Amino acid sequence: MRFKQLRLITLALSIAVISSPALAAKCGNSAGGFNAWKAQFTKEARKKGISQKTLNRAFKGVSYDRRVIRLDRSQKSFKLSFAQFYKRRAAGLVGRARRKLKQNAGLLRRIEKRFGVPGPILVSIWGLETGFGGNSGKMNVVKSLATLSYDCRRTKFFTRNLYAALKIIQRGDMSPGQMRGAWAGELGQTQFMAHSYLRFAVDFDGNGRRDLVRSRADVLASTANYLRGHGWKRGGSWGPGTHNHNVLRKWNKAGVYRKTIAKMANAIK
Tell me the backbone φ, ψ of residue 120, rounded to 5 degrees: -60, -35
Q: What is the pLDDT of the chain when averaged over all its residues?
A: 91
What whole-number distance in Å separates Cα of residue 178 and Cα of residue 186?
13
80 Cβ neighbours under 8 A, 6+ residues apart: 88, 256
pLDDT of residue 75: 72
For a pLDDT cut of 90, what percent of the chain falls above it? Answer: 84
- 14-23, 37-46, 203-212 — which is least confidently predicted? 14-23
Q: Residue 209: which of 161, 179, 166, 168 has the closest Cα?
A: 168
Domains of the chain: residue spans and CATH: 77-136+188-268 (1.10.530.10)
State mean pLDDT over 102-118: 98
**Is the pLDDT at 140 greater than 60, yes or no?**
yes
Burial 201-215 (b: 16+ CB within 10 A, else e): bbebbeeeebbbbeb
CB 88 within 8 A of CB 80: yes
Entry pTM? 0.85
Does residue 112 register a pLDDT over 70? yes
**pLDDT at residue 209, as a whole number:** 87
Q: What is the 3-state secondary structure (H, E, C) of 81-145?
A: CHHHHHHHHCHHHHHHHHHHHHHCHHHHHHHHHHHCCCHHHHHHHHHHHHCCCCCCCCEEHHHHH
Report the pLDDT value the prediction gives residue 101, as an integer from 0 to 100.
98
CB 202 within 8 A of CB 210: yes
pLDDT at 252 > cutoff 60: yes
**Residues 159-192 pLDDT 10s:** 999 999 999 999 888 899 999 999 999 999 999 9
Looking at 25-34, 215-224, 256-265, which range is the least confident one?
25-34
What is the longest distance spanned by two Cα atoms in the chain?
82
**CA 89/CA 101 separation, integer angstroms:** 18
Confidence of residue 23 (pLDDT cuts 50, 70, 90): low
Examine the pLDDT at 85 and tell me if it is beyond 90: yes
Distance CA 147, CA 153 (A): 11
Mean predicted confidence (pLDDT) in 61-76: 91
Q: Which run of H or of E encompasses 180?
A: strand 180-181
Residue 9: pLDDT over 70: no
| DSSP tag of 176 | G
